[in-house]
Amino acid sequence: MAAITDLSGSLAVVTGGTRGVGAGITRALLEAGAQVVICARRAPDRPVEAAGRTARFLPVDLRDPEATGGFFERVRGDYGRLDTLVNNAGGTPFRMLDEGRAEHHARVVGLNLVAPLTASIAAYEMMRRQSGGGSIVMVGSVSGSRPSPGTAAYGAAKAGLENLARSMAVEWAPRVRVNTLVVGMVRTELAHLHYGDEDGITAVGRTVPLGRLAEPADIGDACVFLASDRAAYISGAALHVHGGGERPAFLDAATVDN
């Protein structure tokens, strides 16, 4: 993607950009020439680097609106502009609805929906005043469009995030574009916690029409596209990066020969 998309001279913020999908997005943006600031509650184990350059880390708890506002004020003071915000931070433990109290599920919604809303409003205040406007990318999930037993609050939050992005795209046009990456299963350093050993990861990958789990770089390349001028007329869209989705179960259950 970096070979055909040049983001040189632009500044991007990637929330949760210290590992996994977020680190993949950060590396892709660095390779495309962008300057990148990553944020999370804890610093990465090692710097996130690509193309001979390193992302800058700043700590922030995105669930704290005051801290989030302070983070974006620091970005404004240090750089004077913000071209791309990638709302990647999120996640959830596996918990059936009747196994946790309502406040447990509410915290999941807070991290995956309210925190991106808070960050986006802060970013918009910068973007709307600068030449060229800006681009906001929400990192959504296929969990937002299908039942998500064990991660129901997460799925509900991701469904809300995609709807939120469409509303933002209307309210904030034409200065700021807002889009969603609808992400499927990704092979990260934590994949074994969800899918087991290498045999398990391979078996799960076979359920995807393209025959494998996504790599973080696959998500990163899609994010670079949405951040770039090549997507200048794309706003309010949901780009599915899921390898074709999930093979319908009835196809495996059917006994009809084709």
pLDDT in tens, the chain (258 residues): 445 689 999 999 999 999 999 999 999 999 999 999 999 999 999 999 999 999 999 999 999 999 999 999 999 999 999 999 999 999 999 999 999 999 999 999 999 999 999 999 999 999 999 999 999 999 999 999 999 999 999 999 999 999 999 999 999 999 999 999 999 989 877 677 677 788 888 888 888 999 999 999 999 999 999 999 999 999 999 999 999 998 887 877 877 665
pLDDT at 251: 79
11-15/84-87 β-pairing: parallel
Q: Which residues are marked as active site? A: 154
Q: pTM of the prediction?
A: 0.93
Q: Are 160 and 113 in contact (CB under 8 A)?
A: yes
Cα–Cα distance for residue pair 127/242, rounded to 1 Å: 30
Q: At what angle do helices 216-227 and 20-31 cross, to 10 degrees?
A: 50
Cα–Cα distance for residue pair 57/13, rounded to 1 Å: 10
- For residue 231, give the nearest of 166, 87, 135, 128 by alpha carbon: 135
**Residue 224 CB contacts under 8 Å (≥ 6 apart), including other chains:** 1, 2, 5, 7, 28, 29, 31, 32
Read off φ and ψ for residue 211, nearest 5 degrees.
85, 10
- According to DSSP H, which parts of the chain are helical? 20-31, 65-79, 102-109, 115-127, 152-171, 191-195, 198-205, 216-227, 249-253
CATH topology classification for 11-253: Rossmann fold (3.40.50)
Domain residue spans of the chain: 11-253
